[in-house]
Amino acid sequence: MTDAAGHPLILVLNCGSSSIKFALFDASHAPLSRAPYWSGAIEGITGATPVFSAIDAAVEPLTLDAERPYFSALTLLRQRIRDRLDERRIVVVAHRVVHGGSKYFEPTRVDAAVLAELKSYIPLAPLHQPFALEAIAALLAEQPQLPQIACFDTAFHQTMPTVEKMLPLPRSAWQQGLRRYGFHGLSYAYVAQVLGERHGTAARGRTIVAHLGSGASLCAMQDLRSVATTMGFSALDGLMMGTRCGALDPGAVIYLMDIRKLSLEQVARMLYHESGLLGVSGISADPRVLLQHEDDAHAREALDLYVRSAVREVGALAAALNGLDMLAFTAGIGEHNAVIRERICARLGFLGIELDPSANAAHAPVISNASSKVRVVVEPTNEEWVAASAAATLIRH
């Protein structure tokens, strides 16, 4: 993927369980442009209709190897990127890696030893960790001289006080690594930076950022640093999500296994893939679809539960912050679903939140009105740029 001539590029790979997002950034610019040179994704890798999309091309159906669909998708993507390089060359690859455990807090160059350690964290993030590591391993085997940088979603939350990281389990659990790690860190790192740039001191007080996508979490910030978050030890915790349950009484898990006799694998599938909006509605994990089916009681209840989950968690974090000055929405649902934002904010009126309906409908940067005691904003996230910037800093030093 590299050659001796041409402008240097940074490739960012964001590998999930059923998708691979990519972005190419021009490394010759300092500071790095926030707009990628090229970006896109392969989605639906494990489904019946996988597709390739890019910023300058129509969505294209794909045929992947049924036996190894993920490896097939990765191979195809690398070929598409090669075809696009022209006279440019990739000088470093940055990866979003969900879990750095209790050791990796900074962007890290990955070699065989680091890769082996990161594989040991797969049980902490089984839905995401294996796929990023598969991409890293493939490139290490074929191009060991090409630098690869792992950027960790857990890193942003290392500023949380120890008491926020602790779980109320026996002390030995902490020593074994059972603690609140927090996730979506690359997204929060970007939003924190942009909020400071756009809103100045107004963003440096008591801020909650709502990352609402297929996965969802909240982060409470003070001076734009994480002080509490809803996702804890795993990506199941906190908010109700598209197919994940969110916070759940552990007694329910014991009941499913002890009384219902579900296996560990069956319970894991239920909690990760069959719960959340999809499980409650029985229709879809996508709020846009459910909003079109609100005449169906189950769809309506799923949306009500989703909004209630967000409101409860915002309230809890506002209590932890001793008040709230700013609420920021980001990620797919947070950035683009005005109805969900309006319903959440309507139930947070006790905090002094008042929306401007026209601004909210237009997805404006500020969607609260002039009399709102809390500034409510919408800020598109850019995880790929955060990873690319970290990689650029490492290779320049």
Nearest to 184 by CA among 207, 214, 159, 216: 216
Strand ordering across the sheet containing 206-212: 225-229, 216-222, 206-212, 326-330, 375-378
SS3 341: helix
The answer to whether 57 and 40 have CB atoms below 8 angstroms apart is yes
Tell me: is residue 215 an annotated ligand-binding position.
Answer: yes
Bridge-partner residues for 42, per DSSP?
20, 52
Q: Is 275 annotated as a binding residue?
A: no
The response to whether 14 counts as a known ligand-binding position is yes
Q: Is 208 exposed, middle or buried (0-12, 13-18, 19+ CB in 10 A)?
A: buried
User: Do the annotations mark residue 21 as ligand-binding?
Assistant: yes
Ligand-binding annotation for 184, yes or no, is: no
Contact call for residues 156 and 128 (beta carbons, < 8 A): no
Check the annotation: does 287 bind a ligand. yes
From residue 70, give the alpha-carbon distance in Å to each of 16, 47, 134: 10, 11, 9
> Is 332 annotated to bind ligand?
yes
Question: Is residue 205 marked as binding?
Answer: no
Q: Identify which of 147, 117, 146, 145 has the alpha carbon closest to the alpha carbon of residue 133.
A: 117
Name the token pair of 137. 């391993």
**According to the annotation, is 313 in a ligand binding site?**
no
Backbone angles phi, psi at 10, to 5 degrees: -110, 125
Per-residue tokens: 123: 């049980």
Is 286 annotated to bind ligand? yes
Q: What letter represents residue 27's amino acid?
A: A
The encoded tokens of residue 44 equal 């639906």
HSE of 122, CA atoms in CB hemisphere, 13 A = 11
> Distance between CA atoms of 151 and 198, rounded to whole angstroms?
25
- In which region does residue 83 sit, left (phi positive, over 0), alpha (psi from -120 to 50) or beta (all else)? alpha
Separation of alpha carbons 20 and 303, rounded Å:
28
Catalytic residues: 153
Q: What are phi and psi of 230, to 5 degrees?
A: -85, -35
Strand partners, 24: 11, 38
Q: 214 a known binding residue?
A: yes
Binding site: residue ranges? 14, 21, 96, 211-215, 286-288, 332-336, 383
Binding site for ATP: residue ranges? 21, 211-215, 286-288, 332-336
Binding site for Mg(2+): residue ranges? 14, 383
Binding site for substrate: residue ranges? 96
